[in-house]
Structure 1
Amino acid sequence: MTTTASLDSPSVQLDPGSEAVIPLQIRNNGTVVEGYDITVVGAPAGWAIVEPAQVSLYPGTSTTATVTFRPPRSARTPAGEQRFGVVVTPRDNPHEAVVPEGVVEILPFLETTAELIPRTSQGRRGRHQVAIDNRGNVPVNVLVHAGSEGDRVRLAVDPLGLVVPPGEARFTKVRVKARRAIWRGQPVTHPFVVEVAPENSTPVALDGSYVQTPVIPKWLVWLLLGLLLLAAALIALWFTVLKPTIESQAKEAAEEAAAEAEVAAAEAKEASSAAKENAEAANGAASNAQKSADKADEVAGQDPPPRVLLNDVSTRLHTTPLDNNAGEDTYDVPEDGVYRLTDVVLSNPQGDIGRATLFVDGDVQMEVALENFRDLDFHFVSPIVASEDIRLVVTCRTPGTPPDSPPAARCDISALLGGELSVPNTE
């Protein structure tokens, strides 16, 4: 073997986002000058750098290169041991390549974020969602608790505990209801706090509020008062104008009616015989109606059409394109289903630069520049209806810099969708 190579430290422990440098010793045992190409293979190759990547050695001499590992602080960097090899290939004798091997142990890290959607609700009861995003590289157990000062509202969390895989988001529901009703008066705001407690990490406190509205709204009192005033005006009009006029006209009408009554008596006698004939015809029509009713009962006894199920559905679209590239993620609406989109939360945690476009059934619904926001909420009074798909397309111009981390190599954009999904019930 004309070439030997060895790593000064074949194993290293490393936190994501940090750096480790391992010296590589190379010696030319041959009799001619030899050039070498140095590359890293294995899972860590994507975040490993060799300096220099090419060297030349005289016979009987040696040199030192360095292998630098910089694993990104991302959920895509899994915790645990990752084996690698450094391939040292002689250019004139590539079949005599040597491959010293080593192990990089990636240490786990926790980074959990949470958001309350919406922050404020109102009505007879409030409904919220907590979006929990695990940006660490190991699964995290999370407990969710809600409380308020004075215990004036009931707070229900479902579920109380959940497990969030790395790089994914999970949701829990928070329902708020006042302990005592307000019959009339001004709305009352009840602040509350939702605490998201990841295991072995600092809890996150989310402030929210519930606006309790009175059972009898203020506008209803004014409406009743207006109706009373209108009734009083109509009564006054009746006694001063309408009643005298009607009495005069009624007297004249009574005299005319008496004369007409005599004529009508004679006509009534003739009509009685015609009524008898009509009664017989009515009996026949009643018989036909009964037959039709019996047939309708038979039709009514048939199975009803399938019912439609309505479900609250939240989903997350996530894409991480390289700079000067585009990426996309799609939520496909189930066959024969209808998705009514009510909430969209766009997240740009790194401060990337570029453009994000949201398509609904192929039509552009919204288009925003990434540099204008970190978190952006949209809430629609009239839901946006999707019957085919909802697609997030991100054009990455320049990746940003995550907090306490080196500049990212990719953009990291996500969209949290909230709404209702209706599908045919085949049960």
Structure 2
Amino acid sequence: MTPGATVTSTVQIRNSGTLVDQFTVDVVGDAVEWTTVEPSIINLMPGTEGQVTVTFAPPRDSTVLAGIVPFGIRVLSREEPAASMVEEGAIQVEPFTDLQIELIPKTSKGRRKAKHELIVDNAGNCPMAVELTAMDPDDELKLDIDHPILTIQPGTSAFLRLRARPHDTFLRGAEKRHPFQVTALTGEAAPVTANGTVVQQQILPKWLLPALLALLALAIIAVTLWFTVLKPTLQSAARDTAEQVVKAEQQKLTDKADKAEEKAAAAEQKAAAAEKKVADGVLAGAGGGPPAVTAPGGADVSKGQAFDFRVVTDPVATADGTDFATFTAPAPVPDGKTLVITDLVLQNPRGDSGTLRILRGDEVLLEFGLNNFRDVDYHYLEPLTFPPGKELRVAVNCQLPGAPEPPTGRCRPSVSFSGRLAG
């Protein structure tokens, strides 16, 4: 029989007992849910018969599977329960198909691809082998179903993924709609279809251009603020800071200069006091005249005739540091006179190297390194005295003459003396 239809059958019941009996009739087996008995209770006199009608009405859904369904008609006696019996039978349930497919969502959006879920339902009463195909009429999509061929059991569903990818993309422009269709084929049943649409969007997001314009506007505002407000403010602040720093440094320099002037004034005062002290020490008695200065021979050297001369030397260069050449004054000191030297000037214009000594007789009074000076003068409060018999001499050891003399040439330092003759 075909599900959804009804089939009836008659059952004959006989009371073969000696008592009036009541019989209850029902159905057992897999068909009990969709089978009815009318009447279900019958009373029979002894030796009489009665009939009940059995109606089979399987529903048209997947709960009743196609095939042979066995059943039993059970008759129960109230008076003689041991005499109850079951009459067996079977009914052939014919197969039917009910295939349904659904796309979720029906419309998708994407820039480069879109995704759908495909649900395939088998609402029939037998397994179905299903083949799924997807196509778009304009051939603008690449459509892929993850399991295009499958078998679905009765009362079950299959959940599949469908991917749609447009063949071409575009950066900007209006949305494009691409309709497509999914078809399910199964045996001799009619194909089942589901329609869907892919809405293709531009690659560049719609918010990108407004965002770029907003950023550009912000950049223009920022640049305007920089040149009209921030930069002048920073420059003014920088100038103020620089002026403050310069003023602070100038104040420091002024303070240092004031302190240096104070120190110089104090030094001048000390020098004046020292000179006064020396002057007071060398002045004689109440008369204020200079004290008598005497030479080792007893001569008074505080007075005398002014006298000056220059000793020019030209020793030959030597590697012996003890080899000194001696030079004397060009004009000899008169006999009986004492030479008093108050000033001397050392000159080494060529930058000779060596040693220069000033001697009183054989006694070394001063010794200088030639390479330590080019032109230097000395002034003495206590003069150098050369009494008769103690000649003033200049001794020079020349080690390396200066330019333009060759290394084997001569050194040419000189000493200028000034003072007076006493005695």
State the TM-score, normalized to the length of structure 2: 0.54
Query: Is residue 2:219 matched to residue 1:231?
Result: yes
Question: 2:58: which partner in 1?
Answer: 71
Letter in 2 for 1:178: P
Q: Distance in 1 between matches of 2:157 and 2:125?
A: 13
Deviates more, 1:152-161 or 1:54-63: 54-63
Runs of 4+ that moved beyond 6 A? 259-264
Q: Distance in 2 between matches of 1:84 and 1:239?
A: 99
- 3-state SS of 2:86 partner: coil
Q: Distance in 2 between matches of 1:244 and 1:40?
A: 104
Q: Residue 82 of structure 1 is aligned with which of 51, 69, 72?
A: 69
Q: Distance in 1 between matches of 2:165 and 2:249?
A: 68
Query: Is residue 2:197 matched to residue 1:209?
Result: yes
Q: Residue 35 of structure 2 is aligned with which of 45, 48, 51?
A: 48
Q: Residue 95 of structure 1 is aligned with which of 82, 86, 108?
A: 82
**CA displacement 1:302-353 (0-9 Å, x = unmatched):** xxxxxxxxxxxxxxxxxxxxxxxxxxxxxxxxxxxxxxxxxxxxxxxxxxxx
In structure 2, the CA distance between the partners of 1:178 and 1:263, relative to structure 1 (3 Å rule), is farther
**CA displacement 1:65-88 (0-9 Å, x = unmatched):** 211111122212122112222122
Query: Is residue 2:182 matched to residue 1:194?
Result: yes
State the TM-score, normalized to the length of structure 1: 0.54
- Aligned-pair Cα RMSD in Å: 2.5
Query: Is residue 2:151 matched to residue 1:163?
Result: yes
- 3-state SS of 1:17 partner: coil
- 3-state SS of 2:60 partner: coil
Write out aligned runs for 1:375-394 (5 A): none
In structure 2, the CA distance between the partners of 1:92 and 1:226, relative to structure 1 (3 Å rule), is closer
Question: 2:297: which partner in 1?
Answer: none
Question: 2:120: which partner in 1?
Answer: 132
Question: 1:179: which partner in 2?
Answer: 167
In structure 2, the CA distance between the partners of 1:109 and 1:254, relative to structure 1 (3 Å rule), is same
Query: Is residue 2:23 matched to residue 1:23?
Result: no
Query: Is residue 2:24 matched to residue 1:37?
Result: yes
Write out aligned runs for 1:195-344 (5 A): 195-257=183-245
8 Å contact from structure 1 (residues 114, 130) kept in 2: yes
Instruction: Give unmatched runs, 5+ long, in structure 2.
Output: 253-423
In structure 2, the CA distance between the partners of 1:89 and 1:245, relative to structure 1 (3 Å rule), is closer
**CA displacement 1:262-305 (0-9 Å, x = unmatched):** 999xxxxxxxxxxxxxxxxxxxxxxxxxxxxxxxxxxxxxxxxx
Write out aligned runs for 1:405-416 (5 A): none
**CA displacement 1:17-75 (0-9 Å, x = unmatched):** 21110011223344443332222222212221111112223343322221111112221
Structure with greater Cα Rg: 2
8 Å contact from structure 1 (residues 185, 218) kept in 2: no
- 3-state SS of 2:168 partner: coil
Alpha-carbon shift at residue 128 of structure 1 (Å): 0.9
In structure 2, the CA distance between the partners of 1:93 and 1:240, relative to structure 1 (3 Å rule), is closer
In structure 2, the CA distance between the partners of 1:238 and 1:50, relative to structure 1 (3 Å rule), is closer
Alpha-carbon shift at residue 221 of structure 1 (Å): 1.3
Question: 1:106: which partner in 2?
Answer: 93
Deviates more, 1:33-42 or 1:248-257: 248-257
Alignment coverage as a number of residue pairs: 251
**CA displacement 1:363-397 (0-9 Å, x = unmatched):** xxxxxxxxxxxxxxxxxxxxxxxxxxxxxxxxxxx
Q: Distance in 2 between matches of 1:114 and 1:128?
A: 13
